[in-house]
Structure 1
Amino acid sequence: MTDKEISALRDIARRWRLRNQEHRGGVVLVWQGEVYGWKNSLRDASHERPGVYALDEDGHAFIAEGGNDYDGAKCWVVADSGH
């Protein structure tokens, strides 16, 4: 993933957080450029499909990899460690 793509994901998550301030901390979940959820912590990757991004408040980005759409992803991998 390029720096530009990660930056775009951070912007998506930041805008979502501004509109949903009752959700502090945690991770914003993004699939195909759209926010579809929030969790108070990065949890078991098998609850997400491969290709989902999770972005925390500090700008760290993780991607769900391995597995499949039915069984969920196998693990979270650091997509970018922050700014």
Structure 2
Amino acid sequence: MSELIETLRATAIRWRAGNQEHRGGVVLVWQGSVYGWKNSLRDAGHERPGVYAVDEAGQVFIAEGGDDDNGAKCWVAADSAST
């Protein structure tokens, strides 16, 4: 999992470098590709389970529970130290 976390962080850093008008917030990643940005980590129900969100500090969160039709139930910190 720690390799995945580092890959997600690198993906977000590259995206931020090319989209500097979007400061702070979270970069949203689905299946390895950035698909969006939000100014804050919001209701997981607007995202599908399995989406990752990477904040400016490099913290990574994953949308869990729920389903593709109704959205995820919650955001969970993906802690690379515990994997």
Number of aligned pairs?
81
Aligned to 1:71: 70
Q: Residue by residue, what CA displacement relative to the aligned partner does 1:22-74 show, whole Å, maximum 9, x if unpaired?
A: 00000000000000000000000000000000000100000000000000000
The 2-side partners of 1:64 and 1:6 are apart by 14
Instruction: Give the 3 Å change call, closer, same or farther, for CA 4–81 of structure 1 in structure 2.
Output: closer
Among all aligned residue pairs of Structure 1 and Structure 2, give the percentage whose two residues are the same amino acid: 73
What RMSD over aligned residues (CA atoms) do the two structures have, in Å? 1.2
Q: CA deviation at 1:80?
A: 2.3
Contact in 2 for aligned 1:60/1:81 (Cα 8 Å): no
Q: TM-score, normalised by structure 2?
A: 0.94
- For normalisation by structure 1, the TM-score amounts to 0.94
Pair 1:28-2:27 in alignment: yes
The answer for unaligned runs of 5 or more in structure 1 is none
